[in-house]
Amino acid sequence: MTKLSVNINKVATLRNARGGNVPDVVKVALDCEKFGADGITVHPRPDGRHIRFDDVYALKPVLRTEFNIEGYPSPEFIDLVLKVKPHQVTLVPDAPDQITSNSGWDTKTHFSFLSEILDDFSSAGIRTSIFISTDAELVEYAAKAGTDRIELYTEPYATGFVKNPEKAVTPFIETAKIARSLGLGVNAGHDLSLENLNYFYKNIPWLDEVSIGHALIADALYMGLETTIKNYKKCLSE
């Protein structure tokens, strides 16, 4: 089964626009679980412009499904993750002021940096994942560095899907096969949507997890959160 992890950063962005606690991100996370999400993803950034560190602490004790914390492994982030002990940590190479993650790790250049951090998380019993583009060599270095999974950076798939779905998905199938042959689990995320998710899933049905935020929360404005989550789940089952 491919799990759907809902990224609730956009919910925090909406809350932060006004101050106060509307919408309540903890309640939304619990409702996502109630409506069928298999996990919750948060991406705390140093400036707290979306999910804040205190949200991460508030979510951990109440979530019933998989908790995934993604972000750049700064000392503050590492400390947070080691204290909270989520099911999974996803390392993302984004600069503090970046609007959104827009590239995967160069696992060759940052090999020792990543190896050390992965080791710290693994020793704490936290499953690790590295955000990565479709490059065989970088996946091999990710495996050597000791990650449990990779998360495929799917923005190029989403962009290419509009013109030529088969061409867009091909490098992702190849990279996912390499990862599988190296014993790695495979997650995917970024710009996945109701339009492109099912095709991706059908081509890589052994995907462990997709993490989806922007399109899902935007769809919920029209369909409501419950119907939206059910529709995304359907894309992962047919």
Indicate if 190 belongs to the active site.
yes
Instruction: Quickly list DSSP for 104-118.
Output: ---TTTTHHHHHHHH
Binding to ligand PXP, residues 196-215 (CB under 6 A): 211-215
CB 59 within 8 A of CB 72: no
Which helix (H) or strand (E) segment holds residue 180: the answer is helix 165-181
Q: Which of 67, 72, 77, 131 binds ligand PXP (CB under 6 A)?
A: 131
Site for ligand PXP in 86-125 (CB under 6 A): 90, 92, 100-101
Restricted to residues 47-86, the positions that interact with ligand PXP (CB under 6 A) are: 70
Write the binding mask 11 to 50 for ligand PXP: x where contact by CB under 6 A, - elsewhere: --------------------------------x-------
List, in order, residues 6 or more apart from 85 with CB less than 8 Å away: 60, 124, 125, 126
By rule CB under 6 A, what count of residues binds ligand PXP?
A: 19
Residue of 33, 50, 66, 190 marked active site? 190
Residue 151 known to be catalytic: no
User: Is 43 assigned a catalytic role?
Assistant: yes
**Could you identify the residue written with the tokens 């923005």?**
155
How near is the Cβ of 209 to ligand PXP at its closest, in Å?
10
CB of 184 to ligand PXP, least distance (A): 16
CB of 25 to ligand PXP, least distance (A): 15
d(CA 90, CA 43): 9
Residue whose C-alpha is closest to residue 81's, from 95, 62, 67: 67
Q: Which two tokens stand for residue 172?
A: 């992702």
Q: How far is CA 42 from CA 119, 123, 230, in A?
A: 22, 22, 20
Contact stretch for ligand PXP (CB under 6 A) within 56-64, 120-128, 189-197, 230-238: 189-197
Q: Which is nearer to ligand PXP, 100 or 181 (CB)?
A: 100
Q: Are 221 and 27 in contact (CB under 8 A)?
A: no
* Range list of β-strands (E), 123-205: 127-132, 149-153, 185-189
Q: Which of 43, 50, 66, 209 is catalytic?
A: 43
Catalytic residues: 43, 70, 190
Name the site residues for ligand PXP (rule: CB under 6 A).
Answer: 7, 9, 43, 70, 90, 92, 100-101, 131, 151, 189-192, 211-215
